[in-house]
Amino acid sequence: MTARPAPDTRARGRFITVEGGEGAGKSTLVERLVGALGERGIRAVATREPGGSAGAEEIRALLLGGATERWDPVAETLLLMAARRDHLRRTVWPAIAAGRWVVCDRYADSTRAYQGAGKGVDPAFIEHVQRSVDEGRAPDLTLVLDLPAALGRARARARRGKDDAAGDRFEALESSFHERLHSAFRAIAEAEPGRCAVLDATAPPDDLLAAALRAIGDRLPLPLRPA
Ligand code: TMP
């Protein structure tokens, strides 16, 4: 048996984003992926958008709280982009520069889907602002969790019922909005097959994790057997 070389911790880390509609299991998958990558000798950190840095978490509270019509879609896009810029500069880029892998619960495709396809913000405007915010650095890989919108909403409702918590401004939107999101995430993945992998989010959590690790192994060179 040939010994595998130890992972090169001086190398730049990778940026993996996890996308999809409500109730698709993104947060659970992000946490489990970080654990599974760690078992393979890869130092990984979990983060989320909007949020992931002190300033961005403050903006998250502004974005998610209050009445559904609190922000118009353009203002909402700009708040999300301000949060993203802070998150990239303070959390994501420093971690990647230090050799860590960053696994992020939602990122720019959520803006394309929710604010673009869902709420009618001009896609050209979103891309223009995004280019300044990310300085041309796209994620290395995006895992798109695919789940019929009705099933995702039912899962999100069940979760809220358990936590006795009200939905946020976005979860309160009507079902046609969530159908548009579902189509938008699929269209994004079809348009960028090199960056995106679509995963069946109706699968049990263990199978979803295995599929995610396979997708990562197919696209990014990494030691995918446990260390
Ligand atoms: P979460 O429920 O996955 O934590 O996400 C919070 C909400 O923010 C979710 O309903 C989707 C929304 N969102 C956008 O509308 N656009 C974005 O760019 C991001 C990152 C999130």
Number of domains in the chain: 1
Q: Is residue 82 situated within a structural domain?
A: yes
Q: What is the pLDDT of residue 165?
A: 59
Q: Report if pTM > 0.85.
A: yes
Which atom of ligand 1 is the closest one to the Cα of 105?
A: 3
Of all protein residues, the one whose alpha carbon is nearest to atom 15 of ligand 1 is 114
Confidence of residue 1 (pLDDT cuts 50, 70, 90): very low
Task: Compute the distance between CA of residue 206 and CA of residue 60 in angstroms, rounded to an integer.
Answer: 30
Q: Is residue 3 situated within a structural domain?
A: no
Q: What is the pLDDT of residue 63?
A: 96
DSSP the chain: -PPPPPP-TTS---EEEEE-STTS-HHHHHHHHHHHHHHTT--EEEEESS-SSHHHHHHHHHHHSS-TTSS-HHHHHHHHHHHHHHHIIIIIHHHHHTT-EEEEES-HHHIIIIIIIIT---HHHHHHHHHHHHTT---SEEEEEE--HHHHHHHHHHHHHHHT----TTTTS-HHHHHHHHHHHHHHHHH-TTTEEEEETTS-HHHHHHHHHHHHHHHS----S--
With a 6 Å cutoff on the Cβ, whether 77 touches ligand 1 is no
Q: Is residue 6 situated within a structural domain?
A: no
CATH number at residue 206: 3.40.50.300
Q: What is the pLDDT of residue 9?
A: 47
Q: Is residue 173 situated within a structural domain?
A: yes
Residue 124 structural domain: 15-218
- Spacing, Cα 37 to ligand 1 middle (Å): 25
Pocket probe for ligand 1: among 107, 114, 134, 188, the residue whose CB has the most ligand atoms within 8 Å is 114
Q: Is residue 4 situated within a structural domain?
A: no
Q: Is residue 69 situated within a structural domain?
A: yes
pLDDT tens, residue by residue, 132-164: 999 999 999 999 999 988 888 888 888 877 654
Q: Is residue 8 situated within a structural domain?
A: no
pLDDT of residue 190 exceeding 70, the answer is yes
- Are residues 88 and 134 in contact, defined by beta-carbon separation less than 8 angstroms? yes
* Amino acid (1-letter code) at residue 175: S
